[in-house]
Structure 1
Amino acid sequence: MGSHSSEVRDGMRIDWDVPIPMDDGVVLRADVYRPVAEGRHPVIMTHGPYAKGLAFQEGYPGMWGPLSTKYPDVTAGSSNRYQNWETVDPEKWVPEGYACVRVDSRGAGRSPGLLDIFSPRETEDYRACIEWAGTRPWSSGKVGLLGISYYAVNQWQVAALRPPHLAAICPWEGASDLYREFARHGGILNTFTSVWYPAQVASVQHGVGERGARNPNTGEFVAGPGTRLEPELAALRTDAPAELLSRPLDEAYYRERSPELEKITVPVLSATNWAHHLHTRGGFEGYARVGSADKWLEVHGLEHFAEFYTDYGVALQKRFFGHFLKGEDTGWDLQPPVQLNVRHVDGAFERRPEREWPLARTRWTELQLNAGALTMGEEAAREEASADFDAAGDGLTFTTEPFPEDAEITGPAAARLHIASTTTDADLFLTLRVLDPDGADVTFVSGLDPAGVVGAGWLRASHRATDPERSLPHRPWHTHDRPQPLTPGEVVALDVEIWPTSVVVPAGHRVALTVTGRDFELPGDGPWPSTYGVPMKGHGIFLHNDPDDRPSEVFAGTTTLVSGPAHPSHLLLPFVPRNARPAG
């Protein structure tokens, strides 16, 4: 099965490139960090395509620099020699008696085979790796999963297969529905994969070899051994961006890559971010739908990766896994089912325990849209009105009156819009905004944008069909199983999901809803920060501008929004009384 090595360094026993055979003969490779002393230890595992040997500092310097500077607790107490993108730092876990296992998934890093992200084969591999780790002489037999993004998405996937040695999972900001959260927002292609896949996955495909980085701890190629020509590599990976573009409906491809959350029964700590347009929804949906008797939800803000590495996040993770993997008295039995970090406009967070999600004391409020005045409020519109907008332009913005007192909006939101189009389809982009007394946007550090919007929702009009059994007033469930083209000029009703958000709106501020036919952009001339060459103007790099998915002859027409007694268009918001907080 090839060579692997073992050494003691920095207070750990490290086994490099340990072979893990799969049932079809492919051998995956893992790095194992464990205590030097003999014994059986609970396992913290990740499995994925980002190359276990790629140093965070080298592979992602644009993220590592701000993270390590802005949050000094991230690097404190560690040599940081083993930092790896979106996985735990073993120097903070091994001293407490854990074995940390990082596995390169099939076709990535040091593991050969066909690279096919989120595929059933990859999930089966993960299950085999969990069982392998649970039966090693150095393992206690209890395996926990902990990681961000990809390493969270595939936790939901593999946990639904119920590996016997899986004891607990903590998916930290990870999608749980490949179609609705990762690939197609409201049926509209999210172009993230076309940017992310070449930069972060194909760049460390097994066989990149000498064209890629070296592991600073071993000197080995992170995506080797061996170096293949690009045509050979292309034949050994699926074309993920092309797959998503070619599959506009929620078909078997997406279903077999999205877990049946109800089958998950192990303890779950679902941690999610208020503002990540790939992962926010997945954390809430995962928490709500898993079959686990023991489940918790934590919601935070800031950058996508920040709180995973800070003392706040690490302490939460250790309390959870200490309880379920080690049987320690960590106080987790007193942990509230829901822990929120409610956002304030000055960038501060209000940490608050809750009993449920959505909050039972929510005052669900319909703000009626007036297309004539471009206002919204609780009073129903008395007359019919309409407003046209260029689908390729700035759209329409509806605003409330200034709030007379502070008001909290925390929870999922939705809108019912009555629209018509001059073409056979229309894409709707809904942006929830808070405007200060001068009319300027209040923005937040979001998952991948230093000035993110407050909330967002999307829907392709031809995908307006909903499943009444799965839909809720605050979370319509679109089937995305058949197109329903528009008849030009004919008004139809659309129920649009707006992903969960949180903000305390101060007195004197307004709430606004902007409806556009393209990605919303914050007003102003920038300069705008960019990631992988994509300028970020409020939505990070999660854009919807593929011309093949959105041909101009269909999606660049004129859209009409209608309001009034016969066409009541409204925004449903989750107001939370500030004077009726639950006990801790």
Structure 2
Amino acid sequence: MAERDSSGTGPVDIPFTPGFPPGVGRAHPVHPSDTLVMDCNVRVPMRDGGWIAADVYRPRAHSRHPVLLVASGYPKKLDHLPSNPAYRFRETSDFEWWVAHGYAIVRTDARGTGESTDGQWDFFGPGEQSDLYDSIEWAAAQSWANGRVGMLGQSYFAQVQWLAAVNRPPSLACIAPYDGLVDIYRDLAWHGGMFSQDFVANWAARQIHLNNLPFEPAPPGNVMRFDVTGELIRHRLDGPFYRARSAFWRLDQIAVPVYSIGAWEKVRLHTRGNVLGYERISHVPRKLLMLGGDAQATFHTEPLMRELERWYARWLKGADNGIEREPPVRIYVQGKNPGFRDENEWPIARTRVTELYLRPDGLGPEPPASENERSLEYPRNDFLRDMGAVVFETAPLDADIEVTGPIKLVLFVSSDQPEADIAVTLAERSSAGSTVVTRGWQKASQRVLEPSLSTLLRPFHPHQSEEPLVPGEVYEVEIEIWPTSWRFARSNRIALSIANGDRTHFYGFKAGRDSYHFGGRFPSRLLLPVIPA
């Protein structure tokens, strides 16, 4: 049977996919057939004498095929489960589809997870990165491989693509990190220095459960011994622990083409990484695709797989399909009249930075002449129902406004405590209610900036020290609000909400009063990347 070809010219029309119907997903059990060879639990040797377990799916045809490495700490023995919201770890795509299109799949369990019971999991560290390198070189050397290896997968499976690429294995020919972060400290664990307790604790607990399946013997004691939650809590500041596990600091070492595909919905985890990853690899062929809708659901649609296959066909099969000559950026603009648009660069060159000042009557283009403040006392007596926030809104918009790119809030803050946590929500408010657009977080004690990495619209904080606040003194704090693309509708309002915490981050042991100052000496303002109509 001849392999299928979906690598024709032109970008694929990817539909907005809000989610799967219950129980529906393209991922499903794969079995050997007259066109597919399946080898389970192949032991892949590592340079230190250890091994990891791999399942190999490849065309039965007697020829050499490009390889897609699918690697993570999510056990491959669960790959039979459907990809839907019940199983957010099912992020591997449809192996039969890829084999039918002429690719071999090498699906590995990270060392110390799943069926790779030799050694201990290193949580994206140097050990796991070394194993990725060795897995790529092993796959390229197999008799059924053409010597070119790419990588496939979402989230964890995407994060390790960035990490593999910065280590430059010779046989890695391209990557396509879909929904994948690059900075464990800022993207996953400590948003603006505020601990992402909800995600970290739940994800770590799930990892342990995934590797301790019911009705099976318990795994060896070395499996899943890494204490994710404890280690992240103990490392409160950025430093060697995080930098060894984060591709961000070495993105300039990537030497292969990169298709960075992200989703606007993944604020608090991956969105920032896909955007920053693209920005910092201008020295290699690159594309950026930012999606709306549900990231997991979209990943398992055939149009998305066809778009990925165009990328892999170009760099793994040598197909001259012109994908690298197309506009490098494609974004889904959310809000009013949503849809995709091509761009020639990111950030968008025609962006007009627009400042909206905090005012007694809301948000406006002119700063108030006199000094004002609004305060929050905490915790509220009705904390479980309402944590409290101060809200600043524009007047009803007299025209549609598109905001696309990173966003910054400059806020003047004081407190009667040595610390002030700042949680920011940007929303669109209409007569029907409020829709969250994006969010940002920042600890005032970690307000120091790294100028070399900061831009007009994106502050970068080193998070390597804390400077307690002097009670009553006013401090200028720049808050990174995660990038988005959103068209606010005429007659609606842009709403900025400022709180001293939220439900997803560790609230801490605080009781006091924070004040937000604006006007006069304190020009607190929101900086928006407005795209002219």
For normalisation by structure 2, the TM-score amounts to: 0.89
Instruction: Give the corresponding residue for 1:30.
Output: 54
CA distance in 2, matches of 1:170, 1:51: 21
1:57 Cα offset (Å): 2.6
Q: 1:577 to 1:482 in 2, by over 3 A?
A: same
Paired letter, 2:245? R
- List aligned pairs for 1:160-239, cutoff 5 A: 160-191=166-197, 192-199=199-206, 201-205=207-211, 208=212, 211-212=215-216, 227-228=218-219, 232=221, 237-239=225-227
Q: Is the 8 A contact 1:261 1:291 kept in 2?
A: no
Write the deviation string for residues 452-471 of structure 1: whole angstroms up to 9, x where unpaired: x2110100010100011111
Instruction: Give the corresponding residue for 2:479.
Output: 496
Mapped pair 1:110 → 2:110: no
One of 508, 528, 533 as aligned partner of 1:573? 528
Instruction: Give the corresponding residue for 1:441.
Output: 434
Mapped pair 1:141 → 2:144: no
Mapped pair 1:480 → 2:463: yes
1:390 Cα offset (Å): 2.3
CA distance in 2, matches of 1:419, 1:278: 26
3-state SS, counterpart of residue 254 of structure 1: helix
- List aligned pairs for 1:112-511, cutoff 5 A: 112=117, 113-191=119-197, 192-199=199-206, 201-205=207-211, 208=212, 211-212=215-216, 227-228=218-219, 232=221, 237-259=225-247, 260-276=250-266, 277-290=268-281, 292-345=283-336, 349-370=338-359, 372-373=360-361, 375-392=362-379, 393-436=387-430, 438=431, 440-442=433-435, 453-511=436-494
3-state SS, counterpart of residue 78 of structure 2: coil
3-state SS, counterpart of residue 382 of structure 1: coil
What 5-or-longer segments of structure 2 have no aligned partner? 1-29, 380-386
1:439 Cα offset (Å): 6.0
Aligned length: 492
Q: Is the 8 A contact 2:188 2:269 kept in 1?
A: yes
1:227 Cα offset (Å): 3.2
1:25 Cα offset (Å): 2.3
Instruction: Give the corresponding residue for 2:101.
Output: 96
3-state SS, counterpart of residue 163 of structure 1: coil
CA distance in 1, matches of 2:75, 2:126: 20
1:54 Cα offset (Å): 0.5
Q: Is the 8 A contact 1:166 1:266 kept in 2?
A: yes
1:210 Cα offset (Å): 5.8
1:228 Cα offset (Å): 4.1
3-state SS, counterpart of residue 29 of structure 1: strand
3-state SS, counterpart of residue 430 of structure 1: strand
Q: How many percent identity over aligned positions?
A: 38
CA distance in 1, matches of 2:215, 2:136: 31
Paired letter, 2:96? E
Write the deviation string for residues 530-572 of structure 1: whole angstroms up to 9, x where unpaired: xxxxxxxxxxxxx102x6xx222xxx32110001121100000
Q: Is the 8 A contact 2:34 2:60 kept in 1?
A: no
Q: Is the 8 A contact 1:20 1:29 kept in 2?
A: yes
CA distance in 1, matches of 2:277, 2:48: 31
Q: 1:313 to 1:117 in 2, by over 3 A?
A: same
One of 499, 510, 514 as aligned partner of 1:559? 514
Q: 1:369 to 1:484 in 2, by over 3 A?
A: same
Paired letter, 2:194? I
Query: Where has structure 1 moved over 6 Å in runs of 4 or more?
Result: none
CA distance in 2, matches of 1:356, 1:56: 40
Q: 1:391 to 1:323 in 2, by over 3 A?
A: farther
Name the Cα RMSD after superposition. Answer: 1.9
CA distance in 1, matches of 2:258, 2:405: 20
